[in-house]
Chain A
Amino acid sequence: MKPSKLFNLSLAGLLACAAGGAALAAPADGVEILHKEQSLYRNIYVFEKGDVRCMRFTKYFRTGDSQSCMYKADPNRLFYDYAKVVMSTLYLNPDPQRILITGLGGGTLPAALARLLPQAEIDVVEIDPAVSRVAKAYFPFETSERVRVHDVDGRVFVKRAARSGKKYDLVILDAFNGDYIPEHMLTREYLEEVKSVIADGGVLAANTFSDSQLYHSESVTYAEVFGDFINVKVGNRLIIWQHGGLPSDERIAEGAKGFEEAFEPLGFGADWVLPRLSREQDWQTDAPLLTDQYSPSNLLNAR
């Protein structure tokens, strides 16, 4: 091959790469970036497409795996199915007064809970202060005397709460994002700390997403600490548990009746939730237990 031809070829290759790179970096059609910033922990993007506004930690603009999305015209309506399932845990314990949420995102859940339960005290733990700032600026999330954001690591907050004997009536674990799991927040020891801050009759709702080999280890670890739990798969996976024993399906259906009206503006009802609550143990029970000594969650999740 003549040198000039080689040169032309490599030039063409370079141009193709550049074009490809530009196409990847540019937002898809109709997507408008409202905000982007680099925080201590990650990139944060806020973007809009049509009526939907989302917060995302990577720059590929899909609504599918964003941290948080909302309908601009109807901010009360829940965009994600997992958020609907979390709200439906009120069927089990209708009036939680002390609520702990690890992981803020756009603040959809604390905002919805604060509207619905005006007396409740809500502690939100979000390690990244930039996320809380963006949530307040672009999403209908507000802090107040009752809704507080603590910018510390979730494990550190829960361990301190456990040691000071603090109790919560509803604990929502929502600190994972699709790409990375904080491994110290998926171990037997952490879940034991979480369990110890749940009051009698209190409820746990853990939002995870694993569909890989990690699914089995995650299940084994939750089962080790909590025993039987309710398993919900709506794209994300949710684990629901109640201190003092899981209620029967009939009890849950009974509890749902009190919320049909309240949940209507959120965009779902009991007929959507109830069929999705499963008690089936569909995991390999011999999968390795995750502990502080053994927690390669991200490696297991990559398999």
Chain B
Amino acid sequence: MLSKILIYAIACWTGFLIMAVELLSGKILAPYFGSSIYVWGAIITVFMLALSLGYLLGGRYSMHNPTIRRLAGILCVASLLVLPIIFFGEPVMDWLFDTIRDPRYGSLAASAFLFFLPTTVAGMVSPYSVRLLTHRHEVSGQNAGTLYFASTLGSAAGTIMASFHLVLWFQLDHIFWGLIAISLALGLPVLLKGDPHEAK
């Protein structure tokens, strides 16, 4: 039961992480590429591409010895891949601003550089979780449904928190640090200790 809750919690938090980063990415790109509809188009395109690839990879990865430790590992890696946004965001966008004159392709390239990797890895969480939850095929649909419920609820929470409150309370980098810290706080103990049941 505990491990089930942990899986849902990880999926829910990953949903939060993805959408919080997506919302903030608009503010990251705006100083270089503006905030026009095509900047949002570039961002959403990259996030959707990354998630589609992540789902594919997550499903593949779940075929070999799926464990909750590895699920937690995926979350930790995804959150650490947010670090380049903090450290390399400005130089990357500086370079792209000078290299690509059309802000449509500039924002597309910047989104791809900064957000593709963390979002791809975060996208692996959902299919991997479905595999962990499913032991009988009769309940596979129900498990998948409950999991999407949890992760999409997390996404909704991440969207509204980021856009209504977090940007008012904190600097962008501090929000990213907070997202990484919470991800690691949730993922690392599971990654290190493994399944609470197996530990017994």
Contact = CB atoms under 8 A, between A and B. Distances in A.
A296 B162 CA distance: 11
Interface of B: 27, 30-37, 97-98, 103, 164, 167-168, 170-173
A263 B37 CA distance: 40
Contacts of B35: 153, 182-184
A183 B23 CA distance: 14
Interface string A260-303: 00000000000000000000000000000001111110011000
A152 B34 contact: yes
Contacts of A41: 36-37
B103 A152 contact: yes
A292 B31 contact: yes
Interface of A: 40-41, 127, 152-156, 159, 163, 182-184, 187, 189-190, 291-296, 299-300
B94 to A, nearest CB: 10
Task: Name the residue in B30, B35, B171 with the highest tally of chain A Cβ atoms < 10 Å from its Cβ.
Answer: B30
A156 B168 contact: no
Contacts of A187: 31
Contacts of A295: 27, 167
A264 to B, nearest CB: 39
B37 A184 contact: no
A182 B35 CA distance: 8
A182 B171 CA distance: 18
A180 B52 CA distance: 34
Contact of B34 (A40, A153, A189): A153
Contacts of A40: 36-37
B34 A296 contact: no
A184 B34 contact: yes
A187 B167 CA distance: 14
B33 A156 contact: yes
Given A40-B37, A153-B35, A294-B172, A184 B30 contact: yes
Given A40-B37, A295-B27, A159 B171 contact: no
A190 B34 contact: no
B103 A156 contact: yes
A149 to B, nearest CB: 16
Contacts of A294: 167, 170-172
Contact of B32 (A127, A152, A156): A156
7 contacts: A41-B36, A152-B34, A163-B98, A182-B34, A183-B35, A294-B167, A299-B168
Nearest to A153: B34
A159 B97 contact: yes
B36 A127 contact: yes
B112 to A, nearest CB: 19
B37 A155 contact: no
A166 B168 CA distance: 34
Q: Which 6 A-B pairs have the closest CB atoms?
A: A153-B34, A184-B30, A293-B171, A296-B168, A296-B167, A293-B172
Given A41-B37, A293-B173, A155 B168 contact: no
B34 A156 contact: yes
A127 B170 CA distance: 29
A5 B172 CA distance: 56
Given A163-B98, A293-B173, A294-B171, A189 B103 contact: no
Contacts of B171: 291, 293-294
B27 A155 contact: no
Contact of A153 (B27, B36, B164): B36
Contacts of A153: 33-36, 103
A296 B170 CA distance: 10
A182 B29 CA distance: 13
A299 B170 CA distance: 13
A190 B31 contact: yes
Contact of A155 (B34, B164, B167, B172): B34
B173 to A, nearest CB: 6
Contacts of A127: 34, 36
Contacts of B170: 294
Nearest to A292: B31
B83 to A, nearest CB: 16
Contacts of B97: 159
Task: Choose among A40, A190, A294 the residue with the greatest number of B CB atoms under 10 Å from its CB.
Answer: A294
A40 B37 CA distance: 8
